[in-house]
Structure formats: C-alpha cells, structure tokens
Amino acid sequence: MSGSREPIREGGFDDLREAVAPVSERFTAAGHRLYLVGGLVRDRLMGLVSTNDHDLTTDATPDLVREIVEDVADAVWLQGERFGTVGIRIGDLIMEITTHRAESYVGDSRKPVVRFSTDLHEDLGRRDFTVNAMAVDVVDGQLHDPFDGRADLAAGILRTPLSPEESFGDDPLRMLRAARFHARYDLVPVDGLVEAARSLADRIGIVSGERIRGELFRLLEVADPTPGFSFLEDVDLAWRVLPELARLDGDSRSTALARLATTAADPVLRLAVIAWSTAGLAESTVALRLSGADAVRITGLVDGADRIRMGGAAGGPWSDESVRRLVASSGPILDQVVDFAGSVGILVGDLPVALGRLRGAGELDDLGPALGGDEVMALLGLKAGPEVGEALAWLAELRLGEGRMESGDVAERLQGWWSTRASG
C-alpha cells in the first residue's frame, strides 16, 4: 500500500515512560535528558506491539551513563560502550542507552567513526530514515520529530533525514535496510532515493560481511521479502549481496523468490531455498561469513531434499530401505528436510506415511550397526584393526538394507559374510 494510509495511531507513550522511570529519574537528577528513540517510537505510532527491549538516547556521555545506572540496574553490560551504548537490565526490562552521536565511514574503512554529541536533533538527523528519526522525552512525553517522520509513516514514504547521498555515504548498509523497510512496512522510496543508492552501490564493499549478513537475515525474516529483493536489484545491489541469486535468469529468479514468500520466515531456511534454486551458495557463504552451523544446516536441507527427489518413485511409494537411508543421512533435521522438500516443489509421495509407520514399529530407532566392536571381535576372532571397521560398515549396511533383526540372526549373517569374504 502506498500513498494515503490510515491515520497513524496516537498510541501514547505513558506506559513506556513509566517502565523506564527508575532510570529517567536518575538522569534528570544528574542534569541530563533521556529519550525513547527509533524503532520503539515508530512501532508505537504504527500501533505495533512493542518488545521488552527499549532503545533510548541521552546527552550524557557513556562514562556518565554507567555511573547513573549502576545503582539501579540488575545487570550492566559495556560491550558497546566505546560506540556510546550501555546496556542494562531492570527486572525483565532490557534497555540500551546510547549517547547522542553521529556515525559515518571514512574512505574505504570497514569501521565507522563515531562522534558523540549533546544535540538530539543532530543525532536524529544521522539516523537511517525519517520514520526512525523520532524521539520521545521520557520526562514530559514530548515527541521530537524534526524530519516529519510521523507524516511519512502516514503517507507510506521512505525518506532519509538528510540527502540520500549523504545518508548512504555515511553508512552504506542503510541501502540494504531500505530494502527491508520497503518490504516490511510497504514504504515507497521518495524520488531520488533509488538513484542515490544506485550511484553509491559500490560503497557496500566497505561494510563487513557480518553486518551485511545481519541485515540480509532481517530482510529474510519479513513475511514476503520479494519487494525488498526487487529494490536491491533496482539499485544494483542484488549481485553484491547474493550473487548466485542475481545470476539466475528472470523466470528462475522469480520462482525462487516466490518460494521464499511461502516458506517459514526463518533466514537460514530461506537461504536454503535460494541455495536449492541456485545449485549452491558457496560464494555467499564465504562473503557473508555464515556460521559453520548455518552452513551445515543449509547443506543438510539441500542434500536431503535431493535425496527425497531421487528416493521416491516420482512422488510414489517409498521402500522401507529408502526411508531408512534418508533418516540415517538426515539425522536430527529429518522433519525439516521433509518440509523443505515440499517447499521447493518436490513430490514427497507417501514418505510422511511411511515415516510414521516405521517410527511406530521402532524401525527407525538406532540405525547404526546392531553389534558393537567388541562383539564383532569376539564373534570373528579378530583383534582391533581395519577388519573390525570393515565388519561394522557391513553391519551398518545390513541394518539400512534389511531393517531390524534379532541379535542371533545378525551374528549368524555376519559370520556367513565373513566366511565368504575370507574364502574369496
């Protein structure tokens, strides 16, 4: 929806101000101001449910913030103090209090330069978009909106407080954030914003892979991220963020993006959908600094879906052996693999029914060798060595191929195989 919207809810901030009162009173007593800021204010004006995390800004320097809150907070963390942020917890309420600041990248540096300020409006002017450049004084409840963010929310407009060239130049990651705000809030970029992003697209190269990954994951958490990816394509950023997706032809890319909108809003799961559509994400896995766990999960989902594609008879009946082999290869993400296969258009046939039947019969419990190494050595008269490993591998294949057997039958089959092997 663009253009005129329903009026933004008046909302009121009294409950939020009351929640932070134990802290705000101390700031007032120390001669400093404290403001609710950013997404918390935006979401309240939109009538959205607020989280238990509160972002605030102040004219007090970080060392003073630490002094002011240390006696009232149940916990304080200072990891972000050098960037102006002190985190605290009071009961269940989490607050991040940040000194007014301006932040920008210089040249080709990957690390932003932070400068503290005592001017609230300067702080708001250096934020990403006007809809985030609003603050509420926790003492008197006054809304500070120097860049008409509330009006932009009502009109469905995405606009930067300063010129888009200056805003995106200060922090190129804001170009990716624009894609998310366009997709999540249906905010239409004002004239000049797309052009500015396109002209500065190269500057995304100075942003770390970790920050890009974080913003991409937030886009992938949007119910339908498709408009955001269209924006990235329009501003020449798609191939810089997910080159494998950008290289697909138009129809294949549209199919892949359509699948995202029908897949659960789990960033890693949706990256797996893209990986399936593009035959892998090797380049992006490195560039985005994906964690080992995320990379393994993506590979497991894609490989598992491929096994399902090959394992069933064109969506027909599944043999018990095929089910056992799928379960053994998929491990703990089996149910995710089955759901994922359906989400990328693979016919799973009677696989869910077969899984239920074999699970009920205990056929999928412990799919490893029925005998242990010591038992194998005792039965075959072997000492520890490669031959024991070979026998265990044979037993594992027997379990997957023929299912559960009584231990006596397994021992007899093993001895028969070994005798044949020895004579051959």
Going by the DSSP 8-state scheme, the letter that residue 190 receives in this structure is: P
Query: For position 4, what pLDDT does the model report?
Result: 47
Q: Which sequence spans correspond to the domains of the chain?
A: 1-159, 163-262, 292-360, 373-423
Q: How confident is the model at residue 165 (pLDDT cuts 50, 70, 90)?
A: very high
Rg (C-alpha) for the chain, rounded Å, is 29
pLDDT, position 104: 65
End-to-end CA distance of the chain: 75
User: Which of 160, 152, 120 lies closest to 138 in space, CA to CA?
Assistant: 120
List pLDDT tens digits, range 23-82: 999 999 999 999 999 888 999 898 887 666 789 999 999 999 999 998 898 899 988 888
Instruction: Read off the pLDDT band of 3 (50, 70, 90).
Output: very low
Q: Which residues contact 381 (CB under 8 A, 6 or more apart)?
A: none
Rounded to an integer, the average pLDDT of 303-313 is: 82
For the segment(s) 1-159, the CATH number from 3.40.50.2300, 3.30.460.10, 3.30.1360.40, 3.40.50.1100 is 3.30.460.10
Check residue 47 and give its pLDDT. Answer: 85
Is the Cβ–Cβ distance between 179 and 219 less than 8 Å? yes
How is residue 64 written in tokens? 């003073």
Are the beta carbons of 215 and 173 closer than 8 angstroms?
A: yes
Q: Give me the phi and psi of 7, to 5 degrees please.
A: -55, 140
Give residue-wise pLDDT tens across range 354-408.
999 999 988 888 888 888 889 989 988 888 899 989 989 999 999 898 888 888 8
H helix runs in 279-370, sequence order: 282-287, 292-311, 320-330, 334-343, 351-360
pLDDT digits (tens, 9 = 90+) for 324-341: 999 999 988 999 999 999
The residue-averaged pLDDT of 159-180 equals 95
105: its two tokens: 């990248």
- Domain 1-159 matches domain 163-262 at the CATH topology level: no
Q: What is the pLDDT of residues 87-116, one digit of tens each?
A: 999 988 899 999 998 766 666 665 667 788
Predicted confidence (pLDDT) per residue in 170-201, tens digit:
899 999 999 999 999 999 999 999 999 999 99
Say yes or no to pLDDT of 424 above 70: no
Q: Which residue has the tokens 């409006």?
A: 121
10 Å CB burial of residue 25 (0-12, 13-18, 19+) is middle
Angle at 63 between CA 61 and CA 69, to 5 degrees: 100
Nearby residues of 82 by Cβ (< 8 Å), 6 or more positions away:
62, 114
The residue that leads in pLDDT, 314 or 365, is 365
Ordered DSSP codes for 77-146: E-TTGGGTEEEEEETTEEEEEEE-EEEE--TT-SS-EEEE-S-HHHHHHTSS-GGG--EEETTT--EE-T
Report in angstroms the alpha-carbon separations of 345 from 256, 262, 299, 303, 391.
11, 11, 18, 15, 40
Query: What is the CATH code for 163-262?
Result: 1.10.3090.10
